[in-house]
Structure 1
Amino acid sequence: MTHDHDLVLRPTAAQTQAALNPPPGRTGGDLVVETLAGLGATTVFGLPGQHALGMFDALRRSDLAYVGLRVENNAGFAADAYGRVTGEAAPLLLSTGPGALTSLAALQEAAAASAPVLAISSQVPRAGLGGGRHGYLHELPDQQASFRGVVKSVHTVRTPSQIPSAIAGAWESALTAPHGPVWVEIPQDVLLAATDLPVVTAVDAAPHDLPPRPELTAVAADLLARAERPAIIAGGGVVRADASGKLRQLAERLDAPVVTTFGGKGAFPWNHPLSLQSWLEDRHTTDFLEDADVLLVVGSGLGELSSNYHTFAPRGRVIQIEADLGKLESNHSALGIHADARLALSALLETLTEKRQDATAAERVRTVLGLVRERIDAQDLALEQRVLAAVREALPDRSPSFWDMTILAYWAWSAFDARRPNTMHSAQGAGGLGYAFPAAIGAAVADPTQPVLAVSGDGGALYSIAELATARQHDLNVTWLIVDDGGYGILREYMTDTFGQATATELTRPDYVALAESFGVPGVRTTADTLADDLAKALAAPGPSVVVLPALLRMFAPTHLG
């Protein structure tokens, strides 16, 4: 009897001949780039450094496209966006010590947002590891320790022969649900070592599926079938699993209203009769969700933002589908189903074959949205709504947008219609500044056919100015909208509201239009009245551009306190 696992693929005569006669002049760095190509990578991001030069020299002998950014953290943000847009693991090549550590904030965002980033870092030579010879440039006592609490998995290499398996294992980890960043480190002398190992060709590192347990989906289906007031919260896991179509089918079968989290923007059609949109920072929405007798949470951990700052207290049964085991029932007791969102929704659809009828569902949704609108209209926020509407008008439906931690982004989380899944991304996972523009660069590399929008405040923009050179060097179709309010606007509001005055929030900043033009990037200063036209023209023009909007925007009043 022959079992599948007993079958061995034998090399052809040509393959054997090629393996026995590898080309001369190869190093451990070649094994890195050969393995990446064998896994299906086509593009790598990064920034060279002394210990990593073996990898970068090998790029010269490969077909991989290299996109070099000016700061390692920005290279990490670009890789993060490339992974979000493509669903592929994005290789990020880094040097030892300071170069590696500078990427940490980007890797934290990738971890929080479940973005598949494959970071490969150099390390000091083997003689300096494990308490050996000290005093190497860039040396850390335990470089891995700086990353273990951030990335999904850590993989070590100590000989050239370990390189293909270590990178393949990291690739598989990055792409197994939940996606996330992974870390591989390779000593300098291993990267530079000559090798006569065969050229790495196709590498098998298929990610594992994460199906739901059938007894749990049976219970979940029964609860939903018998529910009188079901509701659904759809998070980023729905987008990452490409499950928005399944979500819509289930919502319509159940006549269940749907709220998308800030990370799940676009997972459900904004103007669908069952869409409660994304007004999670609104007590009317929170009250509605608390009133559900069965609440289905898909691909969300119900963290701080998704729970209206932990004020959400559901009274009915909660069913939570979550690929990240650490987020399963971490904030609320539930029927926890550890599974990929697409596989779990498919299982529910197979079980829930009859359509539930609720003629009041769409009317209840309209009532809640009406109350939200009344609350916003009662505040003097016409400028903010006009600016956000201008952005939506100018941005093509298929174009991705990337938002920094700035007041306009906070508005967009709640009020922006993403129109399509996987087109609106922000740094709300970890909440660091400087995400938008380098992330937009990564998205423009992933799909050069679509213009990409980045939105920053003037404070966050200062983190990323160097990448104007990257955008110009690669002639990328990225438009950067900078809302200039003279400082850290959201912190100014927080401090003024809390302490009566703000401290350390005001900034001296450059003339962003002149600065952009000094990089050879067209810039324009706009107003709220001309923003839609100026932004549309910039997005339509090939190559990078900058649009600066001087404006003091305000947040809508919080409603999580009462």
Structure 2
Amino acid sequence: MTHDHDQVLRPTPAQITAALTPPSGRSGGDLVVETLAGLGATTVFGLPGQHALGMFDALRRSPLRYVGLRVENNACFAADAYGRITGEAAPLLLSTGPGALTSLAALQEAAAASAPVLAISSQIPTAGLGGGRRGYLHELPDQAASFRGVVKSVHTVRAQSQIPSAIAAAWRSALTAPHGPVWVEIPQDVLLAPAALPVVTAPDVTPEDLVPRPELTAVAAHLLSHAARPAIIAGGGVIRADASGKLKALAERLDAPVVTTFGGKGAFPWQHPLSMRSWLEDRHTTDFLQEADVLLVVGSGLGELSSNYHTFKPRGRVIQIEADLGKLESNHPALGIHGDARLALQALLETVQERTDPSAPERVRELLAKVTARIAAQELALEQEVLASVRRALPADSPSFWDMTILAYWAWSAFDPRGANTMHSAQGAGGLGYGFPAALGAAVADPARPVLAVSGDGGALYSIAELATARQYDLPVTWLIVDDGGYGILREYMTDAYGQATGTDLTRPDYVALAESFGVPGVRTTPQALESDLAEALASPGPSVVVLPAVLRMFAPTHLTG
């Protein structure tokens, strides 16, 4: 019996000829880059190292664009952002041992944020695999073990014939919901050995659809259709699934107010009458959500930040749609629906009954008025004006990338992203140094738009070397550095908790002079001149740095009643 797919897989005469006469001068590294190109990759990030030179040499014979950063962690942040912006798996080429391990913190962020990064690392020669101690440079007893608890899947290659299938399996894993980083490691001798195998052609690696169970979406639709006070929490899963349009349609059909998590910024229009925006660190918002009789949570595990530091105690029925099985009902009992946000929202749209609640927009207005009044009572005019200046200066369609700094903490709650998939921060894992290298990756993905990076002076020192990358590739990234003389948020936390801070003050460089030493224009600004200086920098071609000396404060914690 002949099946249709048998016909598809039968090689043509031209393919047979090409397979029998592969070009000379190829190595295992060529099989890597050929597989990536066949999968549809166009750009790879990374940093070379001794064991990985076979891959980097093969790039010369490849159509792939290589973007090299100065630190492996930053290269991974750049790949993370590229994956978030494009929705594609972003290849990251690394070397063995120290080079590989240096990427771990960024891989943790990619895992927490469900960003599809395809990390491909070299390994010590095959003879040293298996946990021995042969004394190879960069040798680890079990390199893969260092990554197994961080990434979605680990793939170890031992022969050239395994390379295409291992990379294809990793690619599928990275792009199957929930998206995430994956790890492939290939020994040095396998990468360097001459390759007699045919040139790799396009493998079929369509990601698997994570389809929700229809009996569960039917129950969810019934609950939502007959709810008296439904509400929706939209998380980063809505962004990754490109489902913001379906979320809006469902909210409008149900007249259900929507709040987005910090990872879900932009999943719902900020100015919509049903938008509670992103004020999750606010007791008024927490109370509003607790009072919902049916709460739909889409693409969020309701972790620490999304649950107002686990003070959120829902009183009604919770429906949780989540692609990450480990996050399903991990914090609250729910009607747990394991599925891709886009497919689950589509199923609900097809089955819910329209309900009308004229009071919903008014209740949302009352909530936002309470939030505004609470902030206004805390004498935080400087912080609000700085954030407003950034918003006015940044073009509406430009993406922004925020490091772990006080202005970013404000932005989580108070910044209007003006679109889905435009605002990104390191709030998934919470490491420093994300903003600038991630913005570089976004600029590589779409150089037609200026990109904004926001860091504090402490976080800026993690990624200062990437000014060289920005200049080398002439990337349109404007880096706003808010210089408060140290780790400002930690200084505030320690002062509040212990009466004084330890280890939070920093000696730092003249950032303007330092930027200019890389050939990157820099300007020192003030809160009053920030909007015009930032707008001018964003409108100028290539990279730029804007330094704002300012000590900002956080709004008062609101996870306690009162």
TM bin, normalised by shorter chain, reads over 0.9
SS in 2 for 1:191: helix
CA–CA separation in structure 2 for the residues paired with 1:288 and 1:548: 39
* In 1: Cα distance, 2:276 partner to 2:431 partner: 28
Deviation at 1:4, TM superposition (A): 4.3
Cα separation, partners in 2 of 1:269 and 1:50, compared to 1, 3 Å? same
Q: Percent identity?
A: 85
SS where residue 401 of structure 2 aligns?
Answer: strand
Query: 1:561 Cα deviation (Å)?
Result: 2.1
- Pairwise CA distance, 1:127: 1.1
Give the superposition deviation at 1:331. Answer: 0.4
Q: CA deviation at 1:11?
A: 1.4
Q: 1:102 is matched with which residue? A: 102
Paired residues of 1:127 and 1:133 also in contact (CA < 8 A): no
Q: Measure, in 1, the Cα distance between the counterparts of 2:57 and 2:337.
A: 46
The answer to whether the 8 Å contact 2:482/2:549 transfers is yes
What SS does structure 1 have at the residue aligned with 2:9?
A: coil
3-state DSSP class of the match of 2:277? Answer: coil
User: How many residues get paired?
Assistant: 561
**Aligned counterparts of 1:152 and 1:454: Cα–Cα separation in 2:** 28
Alignment pair present for 1:393 and 2:413 = no
Counterpart Cα distance in 1 of 2:194 and 2:440: 35
Q: 1:401, 1:425 within 8 Å by CA — same for their partners in 2?
A: yes
Once the 2 structures are TM-superposed, how far is the Cα of residue 129 of structure 1 from its aligned partner? 1.1
Partner residue, 1:481: 480
Q: Deviations over 1:380-408 (max 9, x none)?
A: 10000000000000001110000000000
Partner residue of 2:537?
538
- The residue correspondences of 1:16-415 to structure 2 (distance < 5 A) are 16-132=16-132, 134-352=134-352, 354-415=353-414
The residue type equivalent to 2:298 in the other structure is V
Per-residue deviation, 1:9: 2.3
List per-residue Cα deviations over 1:29-66 (Å, max 9, x = no partner). Answer: 00000000000000000000000000000001101000
Moved more, 199-208 or 542-551: 199-208
TM-score, L = length of structure 2: 0.99
Q: Cα offset for 1:355?
A: 2.1
Aligned-partner Cα distance in 2 for 1:215–1:277: 31
Whole-Å Cα distance in 2 between the matches of residues 550 and 45 of structure 1?
A: 33
Paired residues of 1:441 and 1:471 also in contact (CA < 8 A): yes
Secondary structure of 1:464's match?
A: coil
Root-mean-square deviation (CA), in Å? 0.8
Equivalent-residue separation in structure 1 for 2:261 and 2:131 (angstroms): 47
The answer for unaligned runs of 5 or more in structure 2 is none
Q: Does the 8 Å CA contact 1:302/1:331 hold for their aligned counterparts?
A: yes
SS of the residue 2:452 aligns to: strand
- Structure 1 runs of 4+ off > 4 angstroms? 1-8
Aligned residue in 2 for 1:467: 466
SS in 1 for 2:233: strand
Note the C-alpha offset of 1:2. Answer: 4.8
TM-score after normalising by structure 1: 0.99
Describe the superposition over 1:219-273 as per-residue Cα deviations: whole angstroms up to 9, x where unpaired: 0000001100000000000011111010000000000000000000000010110
Structure 2: distance between partners of 1:92 and 1:132:
27
Contact 1:523 1:546 in 2 (8 A): yes
Task: Return the alpha-carbon distance in structure 1 between the equivalents of residues 32 and 320 of structure 2.
Answer: 39
- The secondary structure found in structure 2 opposite 1:331 is coil
Change (3 A) 1:560 1:203: same
In the aligned structure 1, how far is the partner of 2:153 from the partner of 2:226?
41
The 1:143/1:131 distance shift into structure 2, 3 A limit, reads closer
Q: Which residue of 2 aligns with 1:11?
A: 11
Q: CA deviation at 1:131?
A: 4.1
CA distance in 1, matches of 2:74, 2:21: 40
Cα separation, 2, equivalents of 1:294 and 1:500:
43
Find the residue that maps to 1:367 and give its secondary structure.
helix
- CA apart distance, 1:145: 0.5
8 Å Cα contact 2:213/2:337 also seen in 1: yes
**Residue 361 of structure 1, CA deviation:** 0.4
Q: Separation in 1 of the partners of 2:9 and 2:550?
A: 64
Q: Is the 8 Å Cα contact of residues 89 and 117 (structure 1) preserved in structure 2?
A: yes
Return the alpha-carbon distance in structure 1 between the equivalents of residues 133 and 72 of structure 2: 27
